[in-house]
Amino acid sequence: MVVVLAAAGVQETAAADKICKPWKLLEKCLPAFFGAEEPTLECCDQVKAQSPCLCEYRRHPSTTRYFNSPNADKLVRACHVGPRLCIF
């Protein structure tokens, strides 16, 4: 079952292993996305939980400006999440 999220424009799946909620990730990590501070533990927990969704976020027009930035790459590394190969 796929539900289209109007607010973020990203699909949310019902699969237990892939819950994509970009607004939750942005809420916890926004200062780190802008390079203002290091990611918090709560932020890193969200990054790790949503790591299967990161390529989807990089491709989607409503979230690409956050997830295709140098700070996003720094954030992922700071949270010790392995690099993902995103095929566009």
Dihedral of the alpha carbons of 24, 34, 85, 15, in degrees to the nearest 10: 0
Which helix (H) or strand (E) covers residue 65, if one does? helix 64-67
Q: Which CATH number do you get for residue 40?
A: 1.10.110.10
* Global confidence as pTM: 0.72
State the residue range of the domain holding 18.
2-78
User: Count of domains in the chain?
Assistant: 1
Does residue 85 sit within a domain? no
Does residue 88 sit within a domain? no
The pLDDT assigned to 9 comes to: 44
- 33-72 pLDDT per residue, tens: 888 889 999 999 999 999 999 999 999 999 998 888 888 8
What residues are paired with 3 via a beta bridge? Answer: 12
Does residue 84 sit within a domain? no
Q: Can you tell me the distance from the alpha carbon of 64 to that of 86, in angstroms, rounded to the nearest whole number?
A: 13
The pLDDT assigned to 69 comes to: 86
R_g (Cα) of the chain, nearest Å = 12
* Cβ 47 vs Cβ 29: under 8 Å: yes
